[in-house]
């Protein structure tokens, strides 16, 4: 069985109010081509199809058009789950129409996919949080958990539980219980998969996710993920990555597009996964193009910025413009820059004072807490801090004795 794992499409997402639908369309064209070229049997979309609970009509149309073309009259099966950005009800509204195109949609952990024909394939069994599919004679059991908010999780966890409810105080405990409940559906004669939209402890965020781990309460340790699964397709984190401690079985697909300037340092991608019953998955990373790069232009002067905007006027890119200057940038200069180069997101004058402040912040980061405190004390009190005071402070900061304080300096 050949699977393509993607997620976090965030259709309708803008960059400082500017539409990115064109880039999203370009990606989806590529995506459909990649599905065809690789003869994919099952597409898994691990949540955050849209960027908001109320996606625009354009974003919805783009999604439905894509699903229809993906299916190629039911040849490819597609499983879509809701992420924290999606409205569960709205996402699955077209579910009944989608069935004949081989599309399965799940809004909440409590959703159940109806058994029956899906395009040219079949759902042979299902229940809350799991689906058993058959594609060309191959069977796969998929544990499918759309974004489990606290409330949505509680709807599924308290039934059929063999543990004392009071013992499952934390969100993580309850997720572990859900994994345990659903793992029972995995079998030796099926391919065993999982798809969800979660934040696994230690994953590296890239800045364009909306935090779902409110105060750490939605964090899940990778140890808890079901060991029986041959592949775990995750959504939420926008940087593609392998989740540590899972024998490389759990992965984030990441978003297909660079959604913020903090993401521009890495390539976006998809995971292609080949699976057979009882065997380790064969996994390939398929890199994606950067459809319209986000760039930071650091210019030494206003003249240089004007020159750069002239030179790069016709190259498609989003620009954060930073200009070193010792005076304000005049309105007519801003207009000139924006007339020359469209898609300038912001123009930031960097004054000598600001440069100095940045330098200070940078050196602050390099200094130990002890050094910073010594300097602060000297500046405020006009005298060196006494050793006893310093030790007392370090003790409070570290919460341990001064041996620890010594090691804190490193
Ligand atoms: Mn997301």
pLDDT in tens, 121-140: 999 999 999 999 999 999 99
Residues 149 and 96: their CA atoms lie apart, in Å, by 25
pLDDT at 213: 57
Whether residue 170 is found in the same domain as residue 231: yes
The alpha carbon of 339 and the centre of ligand 1 are apart by a number of angstroms equal to: 33
Whether residue 40 is found in the same domain as residue 138: yes
Whether residue 267 is found in the same domain as residue 229: yes
Residue 244: CATH number of its domain? 3.60.21.10
Whether residue 392 is found in the same domain as residue 283: no
For the chain, the distance separating the N- and C-terminal CA atoms, rounded to the nearest angstrom, is 51
Share of the chain above pLDDT 90, in %: 67
Whether residue 160 is found in the same domain as residue 193: yes
Tokens of 368: 């130990």
Whether residue 195 is found in the same domain as residue 229: yes
Has residue 134 been placed in a domain? yes
Has residue 362 been placed in a domain? no
Whether residue 250 is found in the same domain as residue 312: no
Has residue 194 been placed in a domain? yes
- Segment (H or E) for 321: strand 318-324
Has residue 359 been placed in a domain? no
Q: Is the pLDDT of residue 408 over 50?
A: no
> By C-alpha distance, which of 66, 78, 81, 70 is closest to 21?
66
- Which residues make Cβ contacts (< 8 Å) with residue 224, sequence separation at least 6? 172, 175, 176, 179
**Interval 175-187: pLDDT, tens:** 999 999 999 999 9
The alpha carbon of 226 and the centre of ligand 1 are apart by a number of angstroms equal to: 23
The alpha carbon of 184 and the centre of ligand 1 are apart by a number of angstroms equal to: 29
Has residue 360 been placed in a domain? no
Residues 309 and 278: their CA atoms lie apart, in Å, by 57
Q: Is the pLDDT of residue 405 over 60?
A: no
Has residue 106 been placed in a domain? yes
The alpha carbon of 237 and the centre of ligand 1 are apart by a number of angstroms equal to: 6
Whether residue 175 is found in the same domain as residue 253: yes
Mean pLDDT, range 73-90, rounded to an integer: 93
Whether residue 279 is found in the same domain as residue 307: no
Whether residue 63 is found in the same domain as residue 90: yes
- How far is residue 104 from each of residues 35, 99, 113, 119, 368, measured CA to CA in Å? 17, 7, 7, 10, 54
Whether residue 280 is found in the same domain as residue 303: no
Q: Interior CA angle at 205 toward 249 and 8, to 5°?
A: 70
Q: Can you tell me which residue has the tokens 């030179």?
A: 311
Task: Domain of residue 398: give its range.
Answer: 367-408
The alpha carbon of 161 and the centre of ligand 1 are apart by a number of angstroms equal to: 31
Paired strand residues for 276: none
Residues 111 and 383: their CA atoms lie apart, in Å, by 67
The alpha carbon of 47 and the centre of ligand 1 are apart by a number of angstroms equal to: 7
Read off the pLDDT band of 206 (50, 70, 90): confident
| C-alpha of 306 from chain center | 36
The domain boundary, picked from 287, 310, 330, lies at: 287
Indicate the number of domains in the chain.
3
Whether residue 201 is found in the same domain as residue 222: yes
- Segment (H or E) for 43: strand 42-45
The alpha carbon of 120 and the centre of ligand 1 are apart by a number of angstroms equal to: 31
Has residue 238 been placed in a domain? yes
Q: Give the least confident one: 56-70, 115-129, 364-378, 389-403.
A: 389-403
Half-sphere exposure of 277 (CA within 13 A, CB side): 11
């Amino acid at each position: 069985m050949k699977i393509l794992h993607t997620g976090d499409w965030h259709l309708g997402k803008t960059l400082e109010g500017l539409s990115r639908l064109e880039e999203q369309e370009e990606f989806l064209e590529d995506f459909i081509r990649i599905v065809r070229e690789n003869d994919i049997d099952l597409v898994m979309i691990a949540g955050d199809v849209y960027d908001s609970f109320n996606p625009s009509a354009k974003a919805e149309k783009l999604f439905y058009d894509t699903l229809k073309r993906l299916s190629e009259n039911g040849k490819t099966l597609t499983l879509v789950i809701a992420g924290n950005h999606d409205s569960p009800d709205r996402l699955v509204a077209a579910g009944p129409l989608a069935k004949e195109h081989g599309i399965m949609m799940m809004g909440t952990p409590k959703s159940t996919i109806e058994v029956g024909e899906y395009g040219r394939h079949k759902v042979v069994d299902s229940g809350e949080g799991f689906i058993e599919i058959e594609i060309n004679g191959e069977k796969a059991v998929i544990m499918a958990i759309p974004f489990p908010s606290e409330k949505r999780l509680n709807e599924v966890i308290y039934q059929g539980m063999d543990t004392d409810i009071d013992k499952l105080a934390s969100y993580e405990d309850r997720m572990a219980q859900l994994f345990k409940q659903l793992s029972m559906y995995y079998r030796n004669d099926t391919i065993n998969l999982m798809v969800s939209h979660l934040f696994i402890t230690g994953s590296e965020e890239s800045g364009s996710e909306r935090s779902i781990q409110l105060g750490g309460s939605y964090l899940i340790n990778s140890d808890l993920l079901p060991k029986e699964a041959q592949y775990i397709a995750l959504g939420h984190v926008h940087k593609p990555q392998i989740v540590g401690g899972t024998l490389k079985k759990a992965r984030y697909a990441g978003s297909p597009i660079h959604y913020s300037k903090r993401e521009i340092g890495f390539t976006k991608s998809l995971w292609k996964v080949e699976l057979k019953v009882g065997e380790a998955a064969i996994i390939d990373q398929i890199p994606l193009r950067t459809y319209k790069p986000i760039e930071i232009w650091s210019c030494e002067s206003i003249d240089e910025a004007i020159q750069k905007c002239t030179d790069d006027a016709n190259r498609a890119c989003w620009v954060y413009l930073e200009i070193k200057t010792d005076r304000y940038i005049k309105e007519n200069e801003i207009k000139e820059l924006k007339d020359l180069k469209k898609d300038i997101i912001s123009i930031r004058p960097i004054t000598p004072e600001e440069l100095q402040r940045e330098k200070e912040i940078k050196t602050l980061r390099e200094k130990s807490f002890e050094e910073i405190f010594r300097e602060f004390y000297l500046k405020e009190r006009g005298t060196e801090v006494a050793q006893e005071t310093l030790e007392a402070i370090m003790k409070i900061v570290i919460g341990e004795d001064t041996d620890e304080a010594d090691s804190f300096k490193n």
